[in-house]
Amino acid sequence: MILLLRISRSFFSVHTKLMRAACYSLLALGVAALGYVGYVSADSEAYQAVEKEKFAQPVVTQNPQVLRDGDVIGEIQVPRLGLDSMVVQGDSSRNLRRAVAHISNSALPGEWGNVALAGHRDTFFRPLRDIHAGDEIRFRTAAGTFEYRVQSIAIVGPRETKVLEPSSGRDLTLITCFPFSFLGRAPGRFIVRAREVARVIPGQSSAADREQQGTVASVPK
């Protein structure tokens, strides 16, 4: 009987120590996870602030150059949703953590074709959950400001690549994971398709000026 009591006490002692160690380990993991999230958030906010300040400075337009991974292309805005983020070249995990990413083999603003941008659903592209057809999207670059109107919204599978195919017009495609509230790797993709409707190029009169003069020109189609 005494032996059984000693064995029982020993078992509970070991069990208690193991549980305590497990609690400490989970606490350490939780603190580390919170620290990482805090670091990612601070890094992304600092990056956005610095690049927006640089982008606001007047620049002299140079001849077109080859974009490198991580180069800033411009700033995307959806005024009704309060979405405002810098856009960088390349959809690497580092770029997506800091900004909206331009998919490298897609068109650039102002070019014929499909400008494809990707963003995380829990950061920069989270406001897209409330986007509607007809919403205005602005893409500001050093070459000018390009205005788009949302034409359609769709949900597709993660392997659907048709949304990235070149188009015959001047289109913009926004891509993020779906559902927005899903925990872990989301099973779908949320696709916003928009068409360019206006542009303002430095050195040229604005649409408002042309309208007052009765010479409003439509965007080439």
State the CATH number of the domain containing residue 151. 2.40.260.10
My answer on whether 36 and 82 are in the same domain is no
**Residue 217 located in a structural domain:** no
Q: What is the CA radius of gyration of the chain?
A: 25
How far is the CA of 89 from the CAs of 32, 46, 71, 114, 159, in angstroms?
Answer: 30, 18, 5, 15, 22
- pLDDT over threshold 70, residue 13: no
pLDDT, tens digit, for every residue of 44-83?
A: 889 999 998 888 876 545 445 688 999 999 999 999 999 9
The residue-averaged pLDDT of 22-37 equals 55
d(CA 115, CA 112): 9
My answer on whether 16 and 85 are in the same domain is no
pLDDT, tens digit, for every residue of 190-210?
A: 999 999 999 998 876 545 444
pLDDT, tens digit, for every residue of 136-182?
A: 999 999 999 999 999 999 999 998 999 999 999 999 999 999 999 99
**Residue 91 located in a structural domain:** yes
CB 171 within 8 A of CB 114: yes
My answer on whether 159 and 96 are in the same domain is yes
pLDDT, tens digit, for every residue of 107-138?
A: 999 999 999 999 999 999 999 999 999 999 99
Domain holding 10, by residue range, is 1-57
> In total, how many domains does the chain have?
2
- pLDDT over threshold 80, residue 103: yes
Residues 6 or more apart whose CB falls under 8 angstroms from that of 193 comprise 150, 151, 152, 153, 154, 163, 171, 172, 173
Task: Quote the pLDDT of residue 92.
Answer: 96
My answer on whether 115 and 186 are in the same domain is yes
My answer on whether 201 and 96 are in the same domain is yes
Task: Quote the pLDDT of residue 6.
Answer: 59
d(CA 144, CA 30): 45
**Residue 19 located in a structural domain:** yes
**Residue 25 located in a structural domain:** yes
Residues 6 or more apart whose CB falls under 8 angstroms from that of 162 comprise 156
- Rounded to two decimals, the pTM is 0.76
Task: Quote the pLDDT of residue 56.
Answer: 82
- pLDDT over threshold 60, residue 31: no
**Residue 63 located in a structural domain:** no
- pLDDT over threshold 90, residue 40: no
Query: Quick count: other Cβ atoms within 10 Å of Cβ 177?
Result: 19
My answer on whether 47 and 92 are in the same domain is no
d(CA 52, CA 31): 31
d(CA 189, CA 177): 4
Which residues sit opposite 195 in a β-bridge?
Answer: 149, 171
CB 119 within 8 A of CB 85: yes
Of 30, 57, 84, which one is at a domain's C-terminal end? 57
